[in-house]
């Protein structure tokens, strides 16, 4: 009980630190999507707060994410922001439906190498996105401005790394941002600030339905974008969900997280905010600052609204270099450096998955990368199991040959399975002992039927014995002979 005030203090400070990192990301993503920056900030407020209150994993941070912003650029350019809001609402309904149908547990099917590739890819993206702050008007900073920017970034990173060795009284990222901001203000350093990106002052968000015609034509326009947004958002959220569990060692509720994220997107769309999902960089900042309870996410979300309503003059004076330095540290801490050491030790197909998912995440988008990683892993798994099938032959009983196959019979192993038998050379009676054989799919049933036909054409009889209850039921359901 005595630890509760300390726990609350830690979570409040963690949420405050995270909120500073949310602001530039949400503004940048809104600008990428060609939207008013306030839409990104409103979206961050609703999505962060609602998922923190009702989600399935305390400590996770959600907001207006870049992976979803990229998806809707074409929609905004062709049809305007109101169609985006309708898409966010529909996408949120699809996310909630995904959770209500209890499909969130499908994330367990994502292999660990895909997780490593996802983490590494996003770490590279986080670091790469910060390089834009070293440019102005599309050109790299030169001379003194570049040196000043680089120096403040390096100072911020040094403070974040060194401060935990001296004290843990406050989150190092928060201290670093405050210290660099104070230094820039006292010395009147000519460095870019958050206010140079956009002005964030605004009023309370107002509830209103998206101003679009409620027709089938509108649905035809927004549905593809809503499906893509929901898939990308759910993937990034559930992968971050797993990563958070690994870091905190806690159990979570994946389906509840999906429903909460869907509801948050619906509310955000109805109040004029962008869509969003879990943000791995901000989640890492929150966890690294000690945030473990729902309070940290609620504080981070609530601070976004306070920034808009009351604190914009102060927040706009924060040097971009301080936030860039924090995000560089986040990228360094997010990257799974251990995966580089094990590349030569794990099976080659796992190493291929790690590298491929990392590269595809950076080059395209998360959904494509994870899908490709799962396909590569599944094909590798199928190839390995297809090669593992074999059989022992017993000619102990006169006039009878017994085959004892072992392994899994499925679409990839049927050809090798057929090669195990020689109907032309076998005696008139052949027994197939299936006690160590597992039938996995319809291809397995077709393979057994084909084997029976081969023996029938040779004028010989094939008997199946010791089928498991599951395999017998599979054959009976398909109308095959048992």
- pLDDT tens-digit readout, 181-203: 999 999 999 999 988 888 888 89
Using 50, 70 and 90 to split pLDDT, how confident is the model at 370?
confident
Alpha helices in 171-317 (DSSP H): 172-186, 216-248, 254-270, 280-288, 294-306, 312-315
- For Cα atoms 378, 380, 383, give the angle at the middle one, nearest 5 degrees: 110
Q: What is the per-residue pLDDT for 481?
A: 64
Residue-level pLDDT at 403: 93
226 to 116, 238, 416: CA distances (angstroms): 27, 18, 44
Q: Where are the alpha helices (DSSP H) in 131-215?
A: 143-166, 172-186
pLDDT value, residue 34: 82
Integer Cα distance of 131 and 137 in angstroms: 13
Report how far residue 431's alpha carbon sits from residue 262's, in angstroms, rounded to the nearest whole number. Answer: 56
Predicted pLDDT of residue 480: 65
Residue 2 pLDDT > 70, yes or no? no
Q: What is the mean pLDDT of the chain?
A: 90
Confidence of residue 125 (pLDDT cuts 50, 70, 90): confident
Please give the Cα distance from 48 to 26 (Å, whole number). Answer: 12
Element (H or E) spanning 404, and its range?
strand 400-409
Question: In terms of Cα–Cα distance, which of 297, 234, 207, 190 is closest to 91?
Answer: 234
Determine what percent of the chain is predicted with pLDDT higher than 70: 99
Confidence of residue 59 (pLDDT cuts 50, 70, 90): very high
Q: What is the pLDDT of residues 465-475, one digit of tens each?
A: 888 888 888 88
Nearest to 374 by CA among 247, 233, 225, 239: 239
- Average pLDDT of 95-108? 91
Contact (CB, 8 A) for 98 and 257: no
């Amino acid at each position: 009980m005595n630890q509760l005030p300390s726990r609350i203090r830690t979570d409040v400070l963690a949420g405050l630190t995270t909120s500073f990192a949310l602001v530039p990301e949400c503004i940048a993503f809104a600008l990428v999507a060609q939207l008013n920056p306030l839409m990104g900030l409103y979206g961050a407020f609703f999505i962060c707060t609602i998922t923190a209150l009702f989600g399935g994993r305390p400590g996770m941070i959600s907001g207006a994410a870049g992976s979803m912003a990229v998806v809707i650029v074409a929609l905004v350019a062709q049809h305007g922001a109101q169609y985006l809001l309708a898409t966010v609402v529909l996408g949120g309904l699809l996310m909630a439906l995904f959770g209500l149908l209890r499909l969130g547990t499908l994330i367990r099917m994502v292999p660990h190498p895909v997780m490593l590739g996802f983490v590494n890819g996003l770490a590279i993206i986080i670091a790469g996105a910060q390089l834009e702050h070293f440019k102005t008007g599309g050109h790299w900073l030169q001379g003194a401005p570049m040196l000043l920017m680089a120096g403040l970034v390096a100072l911020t990173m040094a403070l974040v790394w060194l401060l935990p060795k001296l004290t843990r009284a406050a989150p190092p990222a928060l201290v670093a941002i405050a210290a660099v901001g104070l230094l820039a203000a006292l010395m009147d350093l000519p460095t870019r600030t958050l206010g140079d990106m956009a002005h964030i002052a605004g009023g309370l968000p107002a509830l209103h339905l998206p101003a679009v015609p409620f027709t089938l034509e509108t649905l035809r326009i927004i549905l593809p974008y809503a499906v893509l947004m929901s898939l990308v958002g759910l993937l990034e959220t559930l992968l971050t969900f797993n990563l958070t569990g690994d870091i905190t060692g806690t159990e979570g509720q994946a389906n509840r997280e999906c429903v909460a994220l869907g509801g948050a997107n619906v509310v955000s769309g109805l109040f004029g905010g962008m869509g969003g999902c879990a943000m791995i960089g901000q989640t890492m900042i929150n966890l690294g600052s000690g945030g473990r309870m729902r309070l940290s996410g609620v504080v981070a979300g609530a601070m976004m609204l306070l920034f808009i309503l009351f604190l914009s003059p102060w927040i706009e004076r924060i040097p971009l270099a301080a936030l860039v330095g924090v995000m560089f540290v986040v990228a360094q801490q997010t990257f799974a450096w251990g995966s580089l050491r094990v590349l030569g030790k794990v099976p080659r197909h796992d190493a291929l998955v790690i590298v491929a998912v990392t590269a595809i995440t950076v080059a395209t988008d998360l959904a494509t990368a994870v899908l490709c990683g799962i396909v590569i892993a599944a094909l590798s798994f199928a190839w390995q199991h297809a090669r593992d099938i074999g059989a022992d032959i017993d000619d102990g009983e006169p006039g009878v040959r017994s085959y004892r196959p072992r392994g899994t019979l499925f679409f990839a192993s049927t050809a090798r399975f057929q090669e195990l038998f020689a109907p032309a050379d076998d005696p008139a009676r052949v027994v197939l002992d299936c006690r160590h054989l597992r039938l996995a799919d319809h291809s397995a049933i077709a393979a057994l039927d084909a084997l029976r036909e081969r023996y029938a054409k040779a004028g010989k009889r094939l008997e199946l014995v010791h089928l498991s209850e599951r395999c017998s039921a599979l054959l009976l359901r398909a109308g095959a002979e048992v």
